[in-house]
Amino acid sequence: MNCFYTILSQQIMNKGNLMETNLIVEGFKFMGLGMGTVFIFLIIMIASMNLMSIFIHKFFPESKPEINPSVAKKQDNKKVIAAITAAISHHRQG
């Protein structure tokens, strides 16, 4: 009789371990499903953004303004020198 209870308790414990293992396996299945879903969504989003970029650059190109470099350099140099001088004097004052 004692042997019967020992065998029965071992079977119950084995089923308990099997059930815990099944829950862990199911957890990994759901984790893989969720991560796969997110990965596929990100791939689709990146592909659609690239297609939109190609479409926009093809049909709406950026216009490049024409600048005369000699006039722009003379004006920029004066502004840059004034900004540097103001920054140095401000730094020296405290």
| Tens digit of each residue's pLDDT (9 = 90 or more) over 40-88 | 999 999 999 999 999 999 998 888 877 776 655 556 678 888 888 999 9
- pLDDT for 79 equals 82
Number of domains present in the structure of the chain = 1
User: pTM value?
Assistant: 0.48
19 has a pLDDT exceeding 80: no
| pLDDT mean over 20-46 | 93
- pLDDT for 14 equals 61
Nearest-angstrom CA–CA distance, 22 and 29: 10
Question: How many helical (H) and strand (E) elements, i.e. helices and strands, does the chain have?
Answer: 2, 0
23 has a pLDDT exceeding 80: yes
74, with CB counted inside 10 A (0-12, 13-18, 19+), is: exposed
Q: Which span out of 27-31, 45-49, 82-86, 89-93 was modeled with the highest average pLDDT?
A: 45-49
Range of the domain at 37: 2-93
Nearest-angstrom CA–CA distance, 78 and 86: 12
